[in-house]
Amino acid sequence: MIKIATANADQPVNIICMKWGDKYGAEYVNKLHGMISKNLSLPFKLTCFTDSDKGILPSIDIKPLPFLGLPDNIPERGWNKLSTLQDGLGGFEGDVLFLDLDVVIVDTIDELFDHPAEFLIIQDVKLKRKMIGNSSVYRFRVGAHQDILDKFTEDFDLVQKTHRNEQAYLSAEVNKKDLLTFWPEKWCPSFKYHCMQPWPMNYFKDAIIPKGAKIIIFHGHPEPDEAVKGVTHKWYRHVRPTRWIENYWCE
Q: pLDDT (tens digit, 9 = 90+) per residue, 124-163? A: 877 666 789 999 999 999 999 999 999 998 998 899 889 9
- Are 26 and 61 in contact, with CB atoms under 8 Å apart? no
* 87 has pLDDT over 80: yes
Distance CA 101, CA 159 (A): 25
Of 132, 149, 140, whose CA–CA distance to 83 is shortest? 149
- Are 20 and 129 in contact, with CB atoms under 8 Å apart? no
* 2 has pLDDT over 60: no
- Are 134 and 123 in contact, with CB atoms under 8 Å apart? yes
Q: What is the pLDDT of residue 9?
A: 59
Q: What is the pLDDT of residue 126?
A: 74
Distance CA 71, CA 39 (A): 39
Q: What is the pLDDT of residue 124?
A: 85
Residue spans per domain, the chain: 13-182
Distance CA 179, CA 145 (A): 11
DSSP 3-state assignment of 140? strand
* 238 residue type, one letter: H
Distance CA 107, CA 212 (A): 8
Q: pLDDT (tens digit, 9 = 90+) per residue, 113-123? A: 999 999 999 99
Q: Which band of pLDDT confidence, cut at 50, 70 and 90, is reported for residue 236? A: confident
- Residue 16, beta-bridge partner list: 47, 98
> Does 200 sit behind a cis peptide bond, omega within 30 degrees of 0 on the bond before it?
yes
146-154 vs 166-176: helix crossing angle, rounded to 10: 130
- Residue 217, beta-bridge partner list: 190
Helix (H) / strand (E) containing 20: none
What does CATH list as the number for 13-182?
Answer: 3.90.550.10
DSSP 3-state assignment of 134? strand
- Predicted structure pTM score: 0.93
Angle, alpha carbons 170-176-177 (nearest 5°): 95
Q: pLDDT (tens digit, 9 = 90+) per residue, 167-222? A: 999 999 999 999 999 999 999 999 999 999 999 999 999 999 999 999 999 988 99
**CA distances from residue 86 to 93, 112, 148 in whole angstroms, order as listed:** 12, 22, 9
